[in-house]
Amino acid sequence: MIEFSVVDWSAWAPGLTTKSDWQAWAQAPTLPSGADTPALSEVPAMQRRRIERLGRMAIQAACWCEQPDDGGQVPLVFASRHGDVARSMELLDTLGADNSMSPTAFGLSVHNAVAALYSIARGHHGNYLALAAGRATVEAACVEAFGLLADGAPEVRVIVYESPLPPVYADFADEPDPYYAWCWRLAAADRPGTRLSLGWGAATADSAARSLPHGLDVLRFLLSDDATLALASDGQQWTWQRHG
């Protein structure tokens, strides 16, 4: 089991752009929907034009959790089950039509592209990584962040972001997949904030699908008064607990 404190958070989804929006949503959660996109005014227009909707969401959430004194050195963990899979499908369709792929489009389709775009746009020179771990992607990201804290980082920012799967993958979807992104500032458990623990062990069966994707349900858990949240996935049982 690991413990840490969420000292601050931010989130963006269609129709949910402020903390008060999200806190009200957590009391009666529904799937976000809509076509709006973050303004992302923190990024210069020339760079912003290269960033598609999913990347804008993730980078907006990350920007809102920045601290003026972090010097661009706070470790970052970007986490997404599928990344920009829609762009990857466009590239595969291009190959299937025997046309040449755009090197730029290919570079922006890789799983760490959003992290790299953020690093360039915001002058971040610290450690960053991008990961995916199925339904337990948030848990894997927090375990990684805890390791960075144990190695001496005073804080770690975890950025979770998702978008709908392309229709060709619809039969493989195991949970709802709306657009959303959120960021947590994680620190040692004795820091002021919301103290959470995350434990794991063997599971005999996967959890049934819920009305929210798990990554969004974890954010709801943070914002709610619930004492626990559990997920069984790929033979692993994950258990979140709130401590004050």
Q: Do residues 59 and 10 touch, judged by C-beta distance below 8 A?
A: no
Q: Which two tokens stand for residue 208?
A: 């049934």
Query: What is the band of 112 on the pLDDT scale with cuts at 50, 70, 90?
Result: confident
Distance separating alpha carbons of residues 50 and 56, to the nearest angstrom: 10
Mean pLDDT of 208-219: 93
**pLDDT given at position 209:** 77
- pLDDT more than 90, % of the chain: 72
Per-residue pLDDT at 85 exceeds 80: no
- What are the tens digits of pLDDT across the range 2-59? 999 999 999 999 999 999 999 999 999 999 999 999 999 999 998 898 899 999 999 9
Q: Which residue has the higher pLDDT, 190 or 110?
A: 190
Q: Which domains does the chain have, with CATH numbers?
A: 2-194 (3.40.47.10)
pLDDT at position 93 is 65
pTM, entire model: 0.93
Mean pLDDT (whole number) for 126-141: 96
Is the pLDDT at 91 greater than 70? The verdict is no
Taking CA 190 as the corner, what is the angle to CA 152 and CA 62, rounded to the nearest 5 degrees? 65
pLDDT score of 23:
98
Strand partners, 5: 187, 195
In this predicted model, what pLDDT tens digit does every residue of 61-84 receive, in sequence order?
A: 999 999 988 878 999 999 999 988
Q: At what angle do helices 53-64 and 113-122 cross, to 10 degrees?
A: 50
